[in-house]
Amino acid sequence: MRRKSMSGIEGSYVSSDNRNEYDPMRDDAPKVALWKTWGLRIIFAAMVIVLGSKQLNYLLEGASQWSNWRGLGHSMLFTLAILAIGGVFRPLAFLPVMIYEMAWKIVWLAVVALPPFIAGQEIPSIVNAKASLIGICVLIILVPWKYVWWRYFMQPIEPWRRKKPINKNK
């Protein structure tokens, strides 16, 4: 049986016998709306430009004066901005970076910002709480959740080890 390849180019066919069951880009992937991929690209680009430049300035200004935890935070945020470069070009492949971005902000809002807010105190200004809430809401809309479910939960897991090849010469 022969079928058209993922590239969609006429005359380009791949034998189904050559398909790997662990191939992440199979034909049964849910379709992702183009506006969602472009929205993700814009968010990734904003992370690179805004977060990257801000964190780079922090790192160049005075990392020697920071506590270990502050240095860790700035280093991790700068690394997140570097990883976001890949998301500008391949937003679906770099979805775990975006999911991590949402997850840490949700944790921060719930654990760090919410208790003082409920107590009527000032929220720590490490991260802008309002911008984080808006960003999370936008990402909830932009992330293609059907694709995430299909890609990370419905695909067969990678094998823990390869089957030993059978030596037919013996």
Q: What is the pTM of this model?
A: 0.74
* Cα separation, 97 vs 83, whole angstroms: 7
Taking only the tens of pLDDT, the chain with its 170 residues reads 444 444 443 333 344 444 544 444 556 889 999 999 999 999 999 999 999 999 998 888 877 777 888 788 888 999 999 999 999 999 999 999 999 999 999 999 999 889 998 999 988 776 788 888 999 999 999 999 999 999 999 988 888 888 777 776 65
